[in-house]
Amino acid sequence: MVQKAERVVHSGSRGSGGRPVGNVTRGTTNPNRMRRVDRWLAGPQGWRLRSAADPLVVDLGYGASPATAVELFERLSAVRPGVRLYGVEIEPERVQAARALERPGLSFLLGGFEIPVPGNPVLVRAFNVLRQYEEADVGGIWRLVQDRLAPHGLFIDGTCDEIGRRVTWIALDSDRPLTLSMSMRFGSFELPSEVAERLPKALIHRNVPGEPIHALLQAMDRAWLESAALAAFGNRQRWTTMCRMLRDGGWPVHDGPSRWRLGELTVGWEAVSPPV
């Protein structure tokens, strides 16, 4: 059952009375929903796991079904044998049901943003979790999770649609947000800015004129439309050209064609950070 939302602030490692920090969410999920962010974690960010002394990963708030936590474990095990993944959920019944799928390296725990795991994770993925909180609480939630990260650790705060066709995520290290990534399935949109409805909580209400995220989405649309002639060669070529045009126009675009061809775009956080 979804509980009435309570404010979440960075006031310590546990909630009042030792309760997990956070609120019970709807928990809806689908198999393979997180594939786009998972391949980013296993690809450009795979070095974090390979170099970690303790390859500890947390899937925070995996929902009513543990399917996406199991998928993350299997995908990252191909990057770093011996990876340890904890699925952490605030709803006891969800944890109890998931334990039937435990195996060496994969476990499920009751908890929230305090992340009650032994050790400091090198990766924490929280998808479709923070969007159910108040925007004013995001900074405090980020700080709670960032304080638990291992050296070179990464926290992923993301959102996606029901079957993972439109996906966005913010990556943070222990100090600050680093990047915003957007990944879309070709054929599922007419304009790139349609991804706006799946922006993370820190940005979703900022898509208005005068805000940096609005400027980026408008620049994506312009470059996409200007690349229309390339549609005859396929949407991968058109998206790649859009990314190159953005980079050439001064946007801090990360990675290169091997990622762009996947329908993915990552920019430095400084380009979209909301004004203070």
The per-residue pLDDT for 9 is 54
What gap in Å lies between CA 116 and CA 89, rounded to an integer? Answer: 10
The per-residue pLDDT for 231 is 86
Phi-psi region of 136 (alpha: psi -120 to 50; beta: other; left: phi over 0): alpha
Residue 186 lies in a domain: no
Residue 258's domain spans which residues?
Answer: 192-262
Residue 183 lies in a domain: no
Name the domain boundary from 145, 175, 205. Answer: 175
The per-residue pLDDT for 204 is 96
Number of helical (H) and strand (E) elements in the chain, helices listed first: 9, 8
The per-residue pLDDT for 25 is 73
| 229 and 170 belong to one structural domain | no
| pTM for this model (two decimals) | 0.93
Name the domain boundary from 175, 210, 228. Answer: 175
Residue 88 lies in a domain: yes
| 196 and 227 belong to one structural domain | yes
The per-residue pLDDT for 8 is 61
Tell me the one-letter amino acid at 143. R
| 118 and 49 belong to one structural domain | yes
Between helix 35-42 and helix 67-77 the angle, nearest 10°, is 20
8 A C-beta contact, residue 215 and residue 272: no
The per-residue pLDDT for 260 is 98
Tell me the one-letter amino acid at 87. G
Walking along the chain (276 residues) 10 residues at a time, the average pLDDT comes out as 49 60 78 95 97 97 94 97 97 96 97 96 96 93 98 97 96 98 96 98 97 98 96 94 98 97 98 92
Residue 75 lies in a domain: yes
SS3 122: coil
The per-residue pLDDT for 24 is 80
The per-residue pLDDT for 30 is 81
Tokens of 209: 């004129």
8 A C-beta contact, residue 154 and residue 124: yes
